[in-house]
């Protein structure tokens, strides 16, 4: 059974940092791209970042470029999202997702096959 479990969310002041983790099980990590998405109240779910461990490709949305860093630990089947210089507009539920791909990843949510339950990130001003 494929499972994705997010952790690391919480409440932080503007300018602070959080590290999210996405622990994956039930599939071969190398065959999938892993993405981070977020959804704020009343807004569409948007792609934040993604990584494919097979070819090292990464993507960042313009809104987080230079502040967020995605990485993976293949031995632990875990993908991390280090979020620095957080802003109130980063407040959202953050989801990780997996898409079948031997190379590359995508910012488009419809390309992803499996989703986690999400973790809340709240940034206070």
Query: Over the stretch 35-90, which tens digit does the pLDDT of each residue have?
Result: 999 999 999 999 999 999 999 999 999 999 999 999 999 999 999 999 999 999 99
Structure tokens at 67: 């502040």
The per-residue pLDDT of the chain, averaged, comes to 96
* 42-56 pLDDT tens trace: 999 999 999 999 999
């Amino acid at each position: 059974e494929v499972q994705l479990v997010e952790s690391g969310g919480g409440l932080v002041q503007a300018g602070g940092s959080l590290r999210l983790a996405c622990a994956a099980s039930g599939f071969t990590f190398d065959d999938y791209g892993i993405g981070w998405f977020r959804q704020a109240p009343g807004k569409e779910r948007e792609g934040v970042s993604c990584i494919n461990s097979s070819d090292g490709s990464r993507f960042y949305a313009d809104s987080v470029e230079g502040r967020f860093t995605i990485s993976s630990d293949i031995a632990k089947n875990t993908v991390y999202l280090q979020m620095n210089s957080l802003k109130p507009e980063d407040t959202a539920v953050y989801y990780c997702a997996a898409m079948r791909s031997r190379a590359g990843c995508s910012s488009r949510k419809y390309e992803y096959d499996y989703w986690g339950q999400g973790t809340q990130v709240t940034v206070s001003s």
